Amino acid sequence: MMDLNKLAKEEQMAHTYQEELTLDKLTRETVRLEKDIKHIKESRRFKLSKILRPFSYVRIYFSILFRGRAIHQENIKLKQELLKKQYLLNQQKSQLNFINRAIEGLKKLDINSEGKIVKLLNQEGWTFDFIDKLVDEEQKRQEQIKRIIDQLTRSHRHLKSEELKNYLYEKTALLYKRAQFPEYLIRQYEQRNISVSHLDSFSDQLVRRFRLKQLTKQLPEIVLDDKKIAYQFIDQLAIPYPKQQDQVYTIETIPKKQATVIKPAFGDGGRGVYLIKNETNIFDIKRERELSTWSELIEAMTDDLKSGKVSKDLWYCEELLRLNEEQPARDLKFYCFYGEVGLILEVDRTTKARYCWWDKRGERIQTGKYEKQQFEGLGVVAKEIDQALKLSLQIPAPFMRIDFLRTDKGLYFGEFTPKPGNFDQFDLKTDQKLGQLYLEAEARLNTDLINGKKFTLFDNIIEDIRRNA
């Protein structure tokens, strides 16, 4: 039943898509024809033809009368149908030819042609057909890869060198990342104790976690994504955090206060966050721009809601912390994997956002993200890394980004971020490394749960939520 509903939905969307494109084309064609008609009517030849037009009407009348109205109309209808069929046939041929050429172009990694392909697909209304063709090609390619590697690995079973066999299995695993692993190959990896850590992916794990979130709202990291609950959790550890007003505001009720940070009750990636130095000095974090009036702020917040960047018209206000008199507090974002710190991101938002990546040893590294927006940061010390590490062990989740603020008063807790923005933009090396840390953290967490570890601080929060429900 679900498959039929899904198919009906796809057909409906494709039909709607074609209707909109056709309407747009007809509108543009109508405008063009109206211009042509206007031009013709204003021409001398058209004005002269008005005198002779009555005689032409008489001639046409007798012509139709003698040939027979029915036959004339039938001929017109047949001609129209023939032209329509010929047009559709030419369109289908042109469409198929273009889609095939586009896919061949993608195989050649012609990056410059990608934008042109997308533009033409949208203009001609071939998007759905192109996607279907692309999916079909990809499925065929994966099936072909699987068949070939299956035959290769099975055909080398006669090899005597165990080292050579292991090397062969390790190499073929790279190709199986996008194809389905056969059971016998998994058995070989298990028997030979061959690691497939190179297949680990941080982005894959976060997508999987998102799927779990769809099935249950009680994932530990999702509970702590609520900023008010996060502060209650942090209160138990006596870690300082920005002073926050208890009230939740809407756009209409946001107070005009200096030295304030406005944050959405639900959001991540800096979306909907504004630094209010005063009413004429406001910084839009996500858009990296200065706002000079309160009305500009309201307009930006309204756009956040309309565009879906912020899901609900619910906002918190908290104190604006500073690094010094001139600069706002710096973000220190710790990518924590249940007792292990994988990455630290330092962010300076003095004017436009600038970024600096650190590893757990306090050394600068590259990750593939923010390559053109980097700066030499202040860095982190072992004590700060240890604080984030220990905090992550209080949360029964394999991953949590723990965000702090470096201020003139020391390190302040900012928020928990279970799903960092643009997590898919890490380079392959970093994505693999973080993916491995994720799975290792999940393994440690499962072991602790089996051994009966209690997460007292987190359990206290859950009990409090239940009492207030």
**Residues 386, 365 within the same domain:** yes
The residue-averaged pLDDT of 124-151 equals 77
Strand partners, 356: 346
**167 pLDDT band (50/70/90 cuts)?**
confident
**Residues 312, 382 within the same domain:** no
Domain count of the chain?
Answer: 4
**Residues 334, 426 within the same domain:** yes
Look at residue 87 in the predicted model and tell me its pLDDT: 65
The CB-based long-range contact list for 144-149 (8 Å cut-off, 24+ gap) reads 145/175, 145/178, 145/179, 146/176, 146/179, 146/180, 146/182, 149/175, 149/176, 149/179
Look at residue 2 in the predicted model and tell me its pLDDT: 47
**Residues 271, 343 within the same domain:** no
Q: Which of 320, 335, 354 is the last residue of a domain?
A: 320
- Say if residue 57's pLDDT is above 60: no
- Say if residue 179's pLDDT is above 60: no
**Residues 425, 448 within the same domain:** yes
Give pLDDT tens digits for 71-126.
Answer: 656 666 766 676 666 666 666 666 666 666 666 665 555 556 677 777 777 877 77
CB 385 within 8 A of CB 344: yes
**Residues 403, 295 within the same domain:** no
Look at residue 352 in the predicted model and tell me its pLDDT: 82
**Residues 248, 340 within the same domain:** no
Count helices and strands in the chain by DSSP H and E runs: 14, 10
Look at residue 1 in the predicted model and tell me its pLDDT: 46
DSSP 100: H
Give pLDDT tens digits for 216-249.
Answer: 878 999 999 988 899 999 999 999 998 877 788 9
CA pair distance 222, 266, nearest whole angstrom: 11
Domain range spanning residue 8?
A: 1-67
Is position 362 within any domain?
Answer: yes
Is position 88 within any domain?
Answer: no
Round the average pLDDT of the chain to a whole number and report it. 82
Is position 98 within any domain?
Answer: no
31 versus 279: which is more confidently predicted?
A: 279
Q: Which of 265, 290, 320 is the last residue of a domain?
A: 320
**Residues 167, 269 within the same domain:** no
Is position 112 within any domain?
Answer: no
Is position 380 within any domain?
Answer: yes
Is position 75 within any domain?
Answer: no
Q: Which of 320, 346, 373 is the last residue of a domain?
A: 320
Check which CATH number belongs to the domain holding 432 and give it: 3.30.470.20
Helix ranges restricted to H, 312-469: 382-392, 428-450, 456-468
Phi, psi of 386 (to 5 degrees): -65, -35
CB 169 within 8 A of CB 192: yes
Longest dimension (CA), the chain: 102
Where in 217-375 does DSSP place strands (E)?
Answer: 260-264, 274-278, 281-284, 289-291, 315-319, 330-336, 341-348, 354-358
Look at residue 133 in the predicted model and tell me its pLDDT: 81
% the chain with pLDDT above 70 = 75
213 versus 176: which is more confidently predicted?
A: 213
Nearest alpha-carbon partner for 417 in 216, 202, 261, 230: 230
**Residues 192, 222 within the same domain:** no
**Residues 421, 461 within the same domain:** yes
**Residues 337, 432 within the same domain:** yes
Is position 116 within any domain?
Answer: no
Give pLDDT tens digits for 338-386.
Answer: 999 999 999 998 878 899 999 999 999 999 999 989 999 999 999 999 9
- Say if residue 402's pLDDT is above 60: yes
Is position 178 within any domain?
Answer: yes
**Residues 55, 163 within the same domain:** no
